[in-house]
């Protein structure tokens, strides 16, 4: 009986097959465990059932790091669980383990999609996003076997973090323009790590979270191996702690650089949560008109520079409905300020635009912004005829939204300041896309406005998840930010991400604030898309190097196996 050949022997080395021969050196695929150095019996990798259970627990724990619960340290635990679960097996097993982690995370995290539609769209979206984590698992199965990661836990932690964040970046770009919801960074708006967004945006924050989680896993595995605990367990934990604390040194500045802007934000509310929120003609419009007049309980006419309405604050287009036009103009005159009105436009060429209209009293619309990134399956339906086979929910979107053209900047003429103030405007889900926000700030925006409509999502965590994104955008751009919603949660955010004021869900409310106007550009805005591109290139480089190494090791294994004696009986 021939002695079996190794599955991944190091290049240039063969395994003795004769009885009584010395034990062979461990293959690269067996040496990646941080606890395996100098030991032939490292901590055993988890069995497949245990790995799947660990992955599922890790996904659920990671979701708890995000709003509404917001237990941000659990993001490190969730990543660590995935790292440990992926210790063994090939690409197929890695994909399965990653997929389970992804499903356990995205199904509860995107529950609001189930509330707004039905089961099939919610599951389809969750599965699509979870597949990216599955790719991380498959890629890690290839990369972790290479000799340049063997017995180097620090390198392993960095490599795993890069792969994870590269997958985050990829799913933020594809398909259909990507869907960034659930990036690790969005769990850290209230943590010290969130401050790192000033330097490198969400990519850097996610990378630090993934690296901290990987180091935690390295420490746990070293403890399980019971060997060199101080160096292999204490040091990684200390490094992870330093990563969390280091952003406290980031110099976040909240001072006004070009004066202040007095704003009033109106949350008008709707008659009922859910898909029937806009069923009654002009109800939402009337609520926001009344909310605008209610601002006069806090300020005098003319005290405000602008009044901010949410996305769909007017359920009728004031440019085509004379009665709506008159009502908005009257409200603007009463409060003595222009109103940024959220509405829909229906061009003669078909489709519709999601717009923010700057309405000047007596003049009407003087500037506008049309949403550049409509939400696929929510505001337009790709592959409509194909998807209708699986769910008739696609027909809820009767008129597809079309993307606007131009950067998200609305120019507000301020008599009090004696100049034009550029407002950075991103509508609803656009706040999840760093490029759109950075483009507006690079084009001169001195504050950020996030008009949104959360009425369809009920009392789910969608609105607070979105508010966390707005807080991170405030840090990464150094701009005061106002998120204003039809139903909440609305909030006023300082340039350092501090939540200064907020409202409750499904209440009528108004907020008045003086926002610092800022003109300097943060390192994150100056870097633009480069942090994401660098991470993607590093991940592709690691995969390419691992692929080349794997081919070479197979060739060397075949050559050595051919030269090795094959006779001995076992």
Catalytic residues: 311, 371, 428
Instruction: Judge contact between 474 and 495, C-beta under 8 A.
Output: yes
CA–CA separation, 131 vs 429, rounded Å? 22
Average pLDDT estimate for 135-159: 92
- DSSP reduced 3-state for 448: strand
Among 344-358, 379-393, 437-451, the minimum mean pLDDT is found in 379-393
What secondary structure does DSSP assign to 210-224, as a single string?
Answer: HHHHHHHHHHHHHHH
Instruction: Locate the domains of the chain by residue range.
Output: 51-251+532-556, 260-378+399-527
At residue 390, the pLDDT reads: 67
CB neighbourhood size of 363 (10 A): 11
Give per-residue pLDDT as tens, 203-259.
999 999 999 999 999 999 999 887 777 778 899 999 999 999 999 999 999 999 999
Instruction: Look up residue 226 and give its two tokens.
Output: 């019971």
At residue 391, the pLDDT reads: 65
Give per-residue pLDDT as tens, 285-319.
999 999 999 999 999 999 999 999 999 999 889 99
Backbone angles phi, psi at 64, to 5 degrees: -70, -15
Instruction: Judge contact between 165 and 182, C-beta under 8 A.
Output: no
Average pLDDT estimate for 120-136: 94
CB neighbourhood size of 290 (10 A): 15
Q: What is the radius of gyration, based on Cα positions, of the chain?
A: 27
Residue of 250, 311, 265 lying closest to 497 (CA atoms): 250
Residue 3 has pLDDT above 50, yes or no: no
More reliable by pLDDT, 400 or 562? 400
DSSP code for 232: I
Structural fold of domain 260-378+399-527: Nitrilase/N-carbamoyl-D-aminoacid amidohydrolase (3.60.110)
CA–CA separation, 313 vs 267, rounded Å? 8
Residue 393 has pLDDT above 70, yes or no: no
DSSP code for 231: I
Instruction: Judge contact between 414 and 486, C-beta under 8 A.
Output: no
Q: List Cα–Cα distances, 438 to 372, 375, 402, 448, 505, in angstroms.
A: 14, 19, 22, 10, 29
Residue of 297, 298, 288, 296 lying closest to 266 (CA atoms): 288
At residue 255, the pLDDT reads: 97
Give per-residue pLDDT as tens, 79-101.
999 999 999 999 999 999 999 99
Instruction: Judge contact between 162 and 140, C-beta under 8 A.
Output: no
Give per-residue pLDDT as tens, 515-538.
999 999 999 999 999 999 999 999
The β-bridge relationship of strands 499-502 and 447-452 is: unpaired
CA–CA separation, 293 vs 332, rounded Å? 9
């Amino acid at each position: 009986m021939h002695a079996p050949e190794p599955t991944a022997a190091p290049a240039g080395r063969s395994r003795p097959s004769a009885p009584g021969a010395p034990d062979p050196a461990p293959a690269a695929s067996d040496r990646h465990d941080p606890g395996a150095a100098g030991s032939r019996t490292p901590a055993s990798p988890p069995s497949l059932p245990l790995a799947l259970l660990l992955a599922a627990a890790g996904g659920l724990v990671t979701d708890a790091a995000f709003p509404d619960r917001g237990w941000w340290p659990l993001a490190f635990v969730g990543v660590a669980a995935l790292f440990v679960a992926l210790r063994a097996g090939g690409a197929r097993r890695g994909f399965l383990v990653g997929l389970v982690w992804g499903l356990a995370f995205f199904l509860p995290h995107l529950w609001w999609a189930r509330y707004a539609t039905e089961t099939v769209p919610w599951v389809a979206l969750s599965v699509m996003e979870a597949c990216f984590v599955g790719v991380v698992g498959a890629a890690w199965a290839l990369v972790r076997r290479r000799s340049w990661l063997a017995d180097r836990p620090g390198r392993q932690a960095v490599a795993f973090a890069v792969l994870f964040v590269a997958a985050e970046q990829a799913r933020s770009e594809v398909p259909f323009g990507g869907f960034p919801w659930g990036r690790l960074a969005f769990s850290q708006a209230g943590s010290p790590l969130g401050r790192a967004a000033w330097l490198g945006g969400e990519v850097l924050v996610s990378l630090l979270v993934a690296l901290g989680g990987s180091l935690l896993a390295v420490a746990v595995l070293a403890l399980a191996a019971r060997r060199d605990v101080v160096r292999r367990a204490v040091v990684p934990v200390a490094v992870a702690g330093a990563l969390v604390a280091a952003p406290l040194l980031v110099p976040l500045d909240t001072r006004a650089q070009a004066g202040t802007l007095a704003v009033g934000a109106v949350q008008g509310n709707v008659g009922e949560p859910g898909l029937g929120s806009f069923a009654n003609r002009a109800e939402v419009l009337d609520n926001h008109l009344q909310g605008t007049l209610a601002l006069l309980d806090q300020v005098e006419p003319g005290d405000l520079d602008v009044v901010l309405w949410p996305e769909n604050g007017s359920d009728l287009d004031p440019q085509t409905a004379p009665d709506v036009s008159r009502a908005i103009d009257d409200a603007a005159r009463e409060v003595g300020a222009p109103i940024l009105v959220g509405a829909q436009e229906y061009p003669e060429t078909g489709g519709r635009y999601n717009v923010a209209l700057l309405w000047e009293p007596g003049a009407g619309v003087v500037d506008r912004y049309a949403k550049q990134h409509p939400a696929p399956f929510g505001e337009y339906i790709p592959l409509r005829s194909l998807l209708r086979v699986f769910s008739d929910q696609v027909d809820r979107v009767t008129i597809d939204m079309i993307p606007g053209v131009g950067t998200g900047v609305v120019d507000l003429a301020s008599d009090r300041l004696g100049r034009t103030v550029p407002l950075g405007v991103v509508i609803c889900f656009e706040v999840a896309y760093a490029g759109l926000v950075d483009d507006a700030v690079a084009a001169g925006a001195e504050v950020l406005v996030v008009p949104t409509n959360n009425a369809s999502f009920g009392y789910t965590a969608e609105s607070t998840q979105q508010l966390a994104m707005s807080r991170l955008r405030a840090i990464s751009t150094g701009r005061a930010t106002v998120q204003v919603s039809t139903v909440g949660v609305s909030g006023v955010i300082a340039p350092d991400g501090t939540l200064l004021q907020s409202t409750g869900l499904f209440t009528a409310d108004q907020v008045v604030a003086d926002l610092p106007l800022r003109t300097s550009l943060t390192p994150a805005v100056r870097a633009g898309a480069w942090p994401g591109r660098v991470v993607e290139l590093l991940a592709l480089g690691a995969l390419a190097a691992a692929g080349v190494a794997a081919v070479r090791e197979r060739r060397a294994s075949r050559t050595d196996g051919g030269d090795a004696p094959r006779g001995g009986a076992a």
